[in-house]
Chain A
Amino acid sequence: MSSGPLLELNELGISFKSKRGMAAAVRGVSFSVERGESVAVVGESGSGKSVTALGLLGLLPKSAKITGSAKFNGEELVGLESSKMRAIRGKKISMIFQDPMTAFNPVYTIGDQIVEAMEEHGTAEGKAAMSRAAELLEMVGVPEPGQRVHQYPHEFSGGMRQRAMIAMAISNSPDLLIADEPTTALDVTVQAQVMEVLADIREESGAAMILITHDLGLVAGSADRVQVMYGGKIFERGPTNEVFYNPRNPYTQGLMSSMPRLDAVGERLIPIHGSPPSIMNMPEGCAFAPRCRFRQDVCDERSADLELVSDLHMTRCHLTAQLPDYVREGTKK
């Protein structure tokens, strides 16, 4: 058992072939995940957050070019041959997708698909596997698991399917769960159920989690550390409290100021102008510069490096020291 971090990304870069040359979706991402911890990767469209996860697990089309390094338990994932990658996928690292309807095959029962996941990795077989599948369904809170295990995906509701997907993801006791927008398609009361299941499962199994989302509320409730991504790079990262209460990046500050909050009196929101760039149209220099209220000439020339703000809290900005402190406007006393 290696003593380093469970997962360590170093300058990971992912580009896609397009009519106008290579388009970089991920441009040098580095972070690590320790055993048992929960790391959130937050970003909007075009930030590259989902592509990073898919790239890690080799789930991108062959035309995607991946550079840099991603070490899992010391083993390099980038360029890993497919048979070894398949041994890791579903067993050591499991993924939970946004849309449970398309993640399950509609012509097989839920039970069969969970069993398949286990048989594929030699965790269990036949009857034993099926009863383990029912156990797993019970663990994730699906009522009448003994019956449900023989039902088809379309007989499950959205929330139930998501739970079934979690059951399938943990069937081989993975060390790392990657949840890609796991609750975006769900109603908010169902979202609360599913996030609770995830928290319970993690507590019981000790699995680490990477939560990929655009919802800062979810991050506040379930992540130990946060990585804020924009334009294929990490713009700010650190312990959740640090990033939320003392953001030191204009983008993060902008995000915090622009979100309406349930517990705030209705003060005017302060939006970020413009829209996130698409990977085909990435600006030279800092990706956020066109939208930044503090833009200087140096920002158009080149992107900054990640710098320490304090222990474990890093930000990528030329003007970190000069940024005003973030004050949460309109908060109820």
Chain B
Amino acid sequence: MSALLEVDDLVTHFPIRAGLFKRTVGHVHAVDGVSLTVNERETVGVVGESGCGKTTFGRSLLRLIEPTSGGVRFRGEDVIGANKDRMRELRAQMQIVFQDPYASLNPRMPISDIVSEPLRIHGTSKGEAVKRAGELLAAVGLLPEHGNRYPHEFSGGQRQRIGIARALALNPSLIVLDEPVSALDVSVQAQVINLLEDLQNEFDLAYLFIAHDLSVVRHISDRVVVMYLGRVCEVADSATLYEAPSHPYTQSLLSAVPVPDPDIERSRRRIVLQGDIPSPANPPSGCRFRTRCPIVQEKCAAEVPPLVTFSPGQEVACHFPLKAGETLLDRIGSVDLAH
């Protein structure tokens, strides 16, 4: 598998302006140095909670938000420095599906136009584009006849399918999926997840799957990146992440996810973190997780832990990572964490 997308220390800061002359008084450190690789036909999941920067990260890759610094290379070619024309061509290769099925489709355009618009932008004739739109709609489980209907006539799950059809229009190699199923009913989420898996096989797609739902990410991803406050805590393949998570945040996150199994839920000992997630406008020094970390030490405030290889296929950014099979509760002994 060759590297399709390489991200190198990507940083995206938003200036905070205040005062009469809109001076910059600070920055929101939305993405603060993220590096990762996505290979052909692979699914890389990106998880994290509020303020972790995953959505900004996804949009920065496509330059929908301009990154502040860092490198993004697609098949070896520089994306950040690409000029307008080259960017337009690159955009045909990297597409995006958004979270909100109600806001991601223009309410005034019939869906055939919505799906074929990328083709029209890139010079396809109207007739050819309409034909292709019909094929795309069929590929996502709708009918070509539905093309002359409007978005409001469809349910959330169907609109997401339309959004996916649009993303497929230009035959991209990579699709960034920004919380594609979070806004859908449970019974509909599985439809879209299965559809994404099928399309991936049919069209040789790579996915960057951004979500906060760990269960969904675990299910669909080959590898998972865990983000916290703009930085990467851990990168591991799916199985390792679940069976041998090494970063204290990863363990806490996994521990917090409810599982629909009453016996398991009743018998598990949950790690409940104290405190709130700090603001990305004012992140803690050193390791960003230190303010809530149950095993924090002095070193954590002083030095930023680098992302290093911990085991084959697993990288962790922690000064005191947990070994395979070791849990936070083991490390702390019998101290009751909750209060």
Contacts and interface: CB of A to CB of B under 8 A. Distances in A.
Interface in A76-106: none
B interface, by DSSP: helix, strand, loop or mixed?
helix
A51 interface: no
B262 A220 contact: yes
A244 B260 CA distance: 8
Contacts of B194: 268-269, 271
Interface string B183-211: 00111111101100100000000000000
Contact of B214 (A188, A216, A268): A188
A225 to B, nearest CB: 11
A159 B186 contact: no
Interface string A249-272: 000001110111111101011111
A143 B275 CA distance: 9
Interface stretch (A20-28, A189-197, A202-210): A189-197
A269 B257 contact: no
A297 interface: no
Nearest to A270: B190
Contacts of A271: 187-191, 193-194
Contact of B185 (A159, A214, A269): A214
B204 to A, nearest CB: 19
Interface residues of B, number: 48
Contact of A254 (B157, B187, B263): B187
A263 B215 CA distance: 8
A266 B218 contact: yes
A275 interface: yes
Contacts of B216: 260
B99 interface: no
A215 interface: yes
Given A190-B276, A220-B265, A258 B186 contact: yes
A160 B273 CA distance: 13
B252 interface: yes
A285 B339 CA distance: 52
Given A187-B50, A261-B260, A221 B265 contact: yes
B141 to A, nearest CB: 9
Interface in A40-61: 44-45
A244 B261 contact: yes
A40 to B, nearest CB: 11
Contacts of A260: 190, 193, 215-216, 218-220
Contact of B238 (A189, A192, A220, A266): A266
B50 to A, nearest CB: 5
Contacts of B157: 275
Contacts of A221: 258, 262, 265-266
A273 interface: yes
Interface in A58-74: none
A217 interface: yes
A199 B156 CA distance: 34
A51 B276 CA distance: 32
Interface in A152-173: 157-160
B259 A217 contact: yes
A276 B156 CA distance: 10
Interface string B258-293: 111111111000101101110000000000000000
Contact of B252 (A189, A216, A240): A189
Contacts of A258: 186-187, 189-190
Contacts of A192: 255-256, 270, 272-273
B260 A220 contact: yes
Residue of B219, B263, B277 contacting most chain A CB atoms (<10 Å) = B219
Contacts of B212: 187-188
A190 B277 CA distance: 9
A276 B191 CA distance: 13
Nearest to A272: B187
B236 to A, nearest CB: 15
B259 A220 contact: yes
A10 interface: no
User: Which 6 pairs show the lowest CB-CB distances between chains A and B?
Assistant: A217-B258, A271-B190, A258-B190, A260-B219, A221-B265, A187-B49
Interface of A: 44-45, 141, 143, 157-160, 187-193, 196, 214-221, 240-241, 244-245, 254-256, 258-264, 266, 268-273, 275-276, 291
Interface of B: 49-50, 155-158, 185-191, 193-194, 197, 212, 214-216, 218-220, 238, 242, 252-266, 270, 272-273, 275-277, 338-339
Given A217-B257, A262-B259, A271-B189, 10 more contacts: A44-B187, A187-B212, A214-B185, A216-B186, A221-B258, A260-B190, A260-B193, A262-B242, A271-B188, A275-B187
9 contacts: A192-B273, A217-B257, A221-B262, A241-B262, A258-B190, A259-B190, A259-B215, A272-B188, A272-B191
